[in-house]
Structure 1
Amino acid sequence: MNEPKRHHFLPVFYLKNWCNEESGKLVEFSTPFMNEIKPRRVHPKGTGYIDKLYAIEGISGELSYAVEKNFLSPVDNKAATACQALLSGGPVHPQDRRAWAHFIMTLLLRAPREINIIKDILRNLESGTVSGLMNFVIRHAPKEFHSEAGQAFEELKKSAVSRSIEHIIEIMSNEDIVEKIVGMDWDVIDLSTSTHELLTSDRPVMVERGEQTGGETAISLPLSPKKLFVAVTNRLLIRQLKSQNAKNISQAVNTEIIENADKLAYGSSDRQLTFIKNRFGKRKRASVIEENLNKALKISEDLGTYLSSIDDNSMREKFLLAAKTYKDKKESGKHEFRN
C-alpha cells in the first residue's frame, strides 16, 4: 500500500486560493541559499510539506501515517468545503462552521516547529518517563525481580511509541478550543479595494489577546489575496476593523504574516518581493500554543530526571514486603498477586 509520504502542514485546498487561474501555480518565497529570499512559481501540491513530518520514530507501516491519512486528510477535506462557503459570502452551515474551527485548531499545531516540540514531549513522557520509572524500580526492588521488571518495561516502551500517534491526534483535536472557536463571532473582510493583495505563510493563523483587543481574543487568517477570515469574542472588534481603510488592513496583516513566517511565505505574484525581503521572519514570536508546548516540554524533561534520581528507603521496604508476599504465595501454589 502506498502511504502518503508528503505530509502537508499547509493543505493544497488552502494554497490554491493564491494560484494563477491559467498556470495553476502560486509564488513561494523562501530562503534556500544564504538567507536570500527567492521567489519561485510552484503547484500547491509541491510546497507546504515535509516528508514524513507526522510519522513517529519507531513505528513502521500504516500506523506511522495515521496522523496524515486518518486524521488531517479528513479534517482538510471538510475544511475545503467550509472555506468555499466562507469565500462565497453565503451562509456557513453548522457542520462547516465546526469543520473550519477544527481546521484552525490543526493549523496552530501542525507546522513543523510545533510538531517537533510535540514529538519531543511525547518522547520524554513515553520513553524518558518509562526509563525513569524502570530505574526507580530497579533501584528499589530485589535483584531477583530485575530481569522480569526490565522485560515488562521494554514492552511498555514499545506500546508507548504506538500511543504517541493517539496523543498527537488528541492534542490537535482539543474539543475545548474547537468549541471556543465555534462560539466566537465570525466574519470575512473583503479587501478587494486594497492595492496590496494579502499574503500567507507557514504560520498563517494570527491570534491576538491583550491591550490591542481590550482583553478580548481575535483570530484572523488570510483566505485568499482579497479576503480575510476573522473570529472574535466581541463583535465590536469586527466593527472597528471594518471601519479601517482596506489598504491599511492589508498592510497590517501582511506585516504580521511575513514577520512571523518561519521558512515559507506565499503570494499570487512576486510584486511584493521587496516588502517580503525587508520583513521575512524578522519578528518571530512564539504563539500561545508554542509557549504552552515549551512549558510542557520542560515539565516532561524534569519528570524523567526526577524519577531517575529518587532514592526512597520506605519505598524500598514496601518493594521487599511485596516481593516476600509474592514469593510466599507462589510457593504455596497461589499465583494471584495483589498490591
Structure 2
Amino acid sequence: MTSNPPTKHHYIPAFYLRRWAGGDGKVTEFTKPRHDIVARRIMPDRTGYQERLYELKGFEPSLAQQVEEKFFKPLDTWASNALTMLERHGHQAPWDSHSRSAWTRFLLSLLLRCPEDIEAFREWWHEDFSRTDADAEARYQAARGAEDPETFAEFLAGQPLGIKERHQFQVFYSLVDHDSVGGKINEMDWRVLQSPPAAPAFLTSDRPIIRTNGLDQEGDHIALPIGPRLLFIASHDRGFLDGVLRTNQIALVKECNRQVVEGASRFVYGMDQNQARFIQNRFGRTPQPRLMESIVQRRRDEAARQAK
C-alpha cells in the first residue's frame, strides 16, 4: 500500500472512457441536474468516480483504500489489456483463460460497483451481519466463556466496524468473481461489431451494460459499447449473434444508445455534442435495474424464509 493511497474511486474507469476522447484528450460529459442537459469537455479521470466509494470504514487511513488498490486497480488494469485486444483483433482476439476472465470480471464489476450498489450492499451487510440460526447459536453456547455476550447475535453485533467492513468486501469480491455467472459469460460466443460511417457514434454512460434478464435462454445476451464505433456483444445463441451482425446497423446503434442513455443515472458520455437532442429526450428515462438490488433482495427473502 502507498503511504497516500488515492481516494478518488472510479466506478466508470478512465481507461474505458478514453475510447471517446478527442484530440484534446477529453470526452463530452452530459449531466441533467434539472430539466435540461449540461455538456462539458472533461478528462476521463475527472468523471465517473466518487470520493472514498470503496473505503473500508474503521481502518487506518493507510489501509482504508485497499479495496481500490488491491482489487479494483488490478481488475481494471487487466481489463484495459483485454479491451486493447478486442480493439485490435475483434472476433479473433487471442484469448487465454486469464485475459478472457479479466474481461468477464470487468463486465460483472460494472453491474455491481456503482455508488448505489455499494450503498445497498453495505446497508444489507450491516443488518445481516449479526443474524444467526439455531445451529450457530448452539455452537456458540457450547464455546462461550463467562465474560462473553449471552448470544452469538450479540457477539457479532459487538464486533469492531473494521471486521464487519473487511468481511463485507470479501463477500463483495465473491460476487464480482462469481464462478457460475462468470463461467456462463466466459463460455459465450464473443463478437465485436464495428458500426458503419453513416451510423451515429455509440454513446456510453454510467450504466453502460446492455443485458437481458438472464443468460441461458435463446436470445439472451450481454453487450457493452467499447468505443464510438465498436460494440462488444456476447451470447450462447449463435443464431442471435449472426442476426445482430446482419441487422440494420444504424438502427442497432440507435437502439444501443437508447438503452444506454435511458438507463443512465448521473452521466452520459460521447465524443461530442452531436447527439445532444437525443440525450436530452432520453436521459435517465428508464433507470437500469441494478443487479445488486436483486442480489440483496434475494438474500433478504432467504433470511425471511429461514426465520419462519
Q: TM-score, normalised by structure 1?
A: 0.78
Answer whether contact 1:219 1:230 (CA < 8 A) is retained: yes
Partner of 2:171: 167
**Once the 2 structures are TM-superposed, how far is the Cα of residue 91 of structure 1 from its aligned partner?**
2.2
Question: Following the alignment from structure 1 to structure 2, what is the Cα–Cα distance between the partners of residues 154 and 241?
Answer: 52
- Name which of 246, 249, 256 aligns with 2:249: 246
Q: Which runs of 5+ in 2 are unaligned?
A: none
Q: Deviations over 1:189-224 (max 9, x none)?
A: 0103343100001111111157xx964420100000
Partner of 1:321: none
Secondary structure, aligned partner of 1:257: helix
Structure 1 residues 209 and 243: alpha-carbon distance in aligned structure 2, compared to 1, 3 A threshold: farther
Question: Following the alignment from structure 2 to structure 1, what is the Cα–Cα distance between the partners of residues 127 and 292?
Answer: 19
Question: Following the alignment from structure 1 to structure 2, what is the Cα–Cα distance between the partners of residues 45 and 285?
Answer: 24
Secondary structure, aligned partner of 1:148: coil
**Once the 2 structures are TM-superposed, how far is the Cα of residue 157 of structure 1 from its aligned partner?**
4.7
Structure 1 residues 186 and 41: alpha-carbon distance in aligned structure 2, compared to 1, 3 A threshold: same
Partner of 1:277: 280
Which letter does structure 1 place at the counterpart of 2:192?
V
Partner of 1:85: 85
User: Is the radius of gyration larger for structure 1 or structure 2?
Assistant: 1
1:1-339 matched pairs, under 5 angstroms = 1-20=3-22, 22-32=23-33, 34-89=34-89, 90-94=92-96, 95-127=98-130, 129=131, 148-149=148-149, 152-153=155-156, 156-158=159-161, 159-209=163-213, 215-297=218-300, 302=304
Secondary structure, aligned partner of 1:156: coil
Aligned length: 291
Question: Following the alignment from structure 2 to structure 1, what is the Cα–Cα distance between the partners of residues 88 and 17?
Answer: 17
**Once the 2 structures are TM-superposed, how far is the Cα of residue 155 of structure 1 from its aligned partner?**
5.2
Q: Which runs of 5+ in 1 are unaligned?
A: 311-339
Secondary structure, aligned partner of 2:224: strand
Question: Following the alignment from structure 2 to structure 1, what is the Cα–Cα distance between the partners of residues 222 and 61?
Answer: 37
Question: Following the alignment from structure 2 to structure 1, what is the Cα–Cα distance between the partners of residues 37 and 102?
Answer: 34
Which has more helix, going by share of residues?
Answer: 1
Answer whether contact 2:126 2:164 (CA < 8 A) is retained: no
Answer whether contact 1:194 1:250 (CA < 8 A) is retained: no
Which letter does structure 2 place at the counterpart of 1:187?
R
Kindly, what percent of the aligned residue pairs are identical?
27
Secondary structure, aligned partner of 1:276: helix
Answer whether contact 1:109 1:172 (CA < 8 A) is retained: yes
RMSD (CA atoms): 2.7
Deviates further, 87-96 or 265-274: 87-96
Question: Following the alignment from structure 2 to structure 1, what is the Cα–Cα distance between the partners of residues 243 and 122?
Answer: 40
